[in-house]
Amino acid sequence: MSRFRKNEKKETPEINTSSMSDIVFMFLFFFMVITNMRESETKVKFKPPHASEYQKLEKKAAVATIYMGEPINSEAAAKAIDGKIAVQLNDKIANPVPIDFASDIKSFIKAERDDRIQKQEDPNIITYSLKIDGDVQMMYVTTLKEELRNNNALKINYATKKEKK
Amino acid sequence: MARKTPAINTGSMADISFLLLTFFLMVSSINSEQGIMRMLPQKSNNEDQPKEVDIKERNILKILVRSNGDILINGTTIIRNNEILSKLKDEAKLFFSNPQNLPNLPEKKEKQCGLLGTYNVSQGVVELTSDNGATFESYIMVQNELSKAINELRDELSFITYGKNFDKLDESLADERKSIMQAIPLNIKEKTE
């Protein structure tokens, strides 16, 4: 008898963790579905202005982003307009106005449009999301808009933040 | 005789997926793509065409954003330092709707608007200009008020005809939505030169 009792010594039962991974994977997929990847690293300061009448961008794939704001790294600072405001096209900093600004915008828009055409989509569906810092003066914004117009990029979206109430 | 397959230790699986989860949480952003949609006016590069279509004086509402935050409407009414922005909204609403058909406010033209049939569409155009030194934030505030004016007008029309607000008209009511958008167009001309 004593021989059997030895084997029956009580042990804390191990917790079954196999379902844990399932739960976490479920979380993972959930987040992968509802989120969209941060498409590019921002090299300029960008704090969007508040607005209440915003719309959500429907087609996320057909969005080209243009940032505008104070530079936060040295590369951006070197190319800033008047040493103050830098313009970032997707992930590249554009050259300042007197030098190559117009041609930079032009080639950027052309690249975006060509990309759409290659995917057999209408290049006119591209929305240009203008992520402009609230403190930027309008003259810089106007220059940018004029360039967009010159290149027939008319569908724009001013990025805003939800208004605090 | 079939041998029993040894159980695979899945304890680390949870660790790996947690790692992936945190990675995705860090690199992603939830729905940050939102903003005010606008169409820029087309550039006419054809020199034969007149550069700008002549618009009657009564059909234009000129809004100017000054560098100090003041807002001028038709060169006279001044909203100082964003004090009473709702005044701008009311002004824009009155301009776009012209409820009493006053001769100094925009005229209306009958137009076929989808499911609504013929509707008196306002010919009003807001011309938005800004001083060089005006901040983008104040410019967006004005844009926001203009959008609000249009949205409220669309809401009113939508509520009368369909019994719900404009933003409640979803995918299944896309045609209704389109008709209302045709009946109350958002005519903002952003001057760039």
* B23 vs B29, higher pLDDT: B23
Name which of A77-86, A140-149, B47-56, B62-71 the model is least confident about. Answer: B47-56
Q: What would the pLDDT profile of A70-106 be if each residue is shown by its tens digit?
A: 888 777 777 777 777 888 887 777 776 555 677 788 8
A99 and A66 belong to one structural domain: yes
A87 and A23 belong to one structural domain: no
Place of tokens 């609230």: A134
A55 and A117 belong to one structural domain: yes
A26 and A56 belong to one structural domain: no
Beta partners for B71?
A: B65, B79
In chain B, where are the structural domains located? 57-190
Q: What would the pLDDT profile of B116-139 be if each residue is shown by its tens digit?
A: 778 888 888 888 888 888 888 888
Mean pLDDT of chain A: 78
Which of B28, B35, B130 lies at the smallest CB-CB distance from A158? B35
Q: What domain count does chain A have?
A: 2
Are B61 and B88 spatial neighbours (Cβ–Cβ below 8 Å)?
A: no
Tokens of B137: 């934030």
A23 and A54 belong to one structural domain: no
Look up the domain containing A12 and give its range: 2-34
Instruction: Say whether B99 sits in a helix, a strand or coil.
Output: coil
pLDDT at B181 over 70: yes
Beta partners for A127?
A: A63
A62 and A109 belong to one structural domain: yes
A29 and A55 belong to one structural domain: no
A24 and A55 belong to one structural domain: no
Place of tokens 């794939």: A61
Residues near A156 by Cβ (< 8 Å), separated by ≥ 6? Answer: A127, A128, A129, A130, A145, A148, B37, B38, B39, B40
List of E strands, chain A: 36-37, 50-51, 55-56, 63-69, 86-89, 92-93, 127-132, 155-159, 161-162
For residue B28, the chain A residue with the least C-alpha distance is A37
In a domain, A87, yes or no: yes
Instruction: Say whether B62 sits in a helix, a strand or coil.
Output: strand
Distance from CA of B103 to the nearest CA of A (A): 30
Q: What would the pLDDT profile of A149-164 be if each residue is shown by its tens digit?
A: 888 888 888 888 887 6
pLDDT at A154: 85
ipTM of the complex model: 0.73
A30 and A103 belong to one structural domain: no
In this prediction, residues B21-39 reach a mean pLDDT of 77
Beta partners for A68?
A: A87, A132
Tokens of A162: 């939800």
Kindly indicate the confidence band of residue A126, based on its pLDDT and cuts at 50, 70 and 90: confident
Instruction: Say whether B173 sits in a helix, a strand or coil.
Output: helix
Are A138 and B132 spatial neighbours (Cβ–Cβ below 8 Å)?
A: yes
Residues of chain A with Cβ-Cβ distance to B30 below 8 Å are 34-35
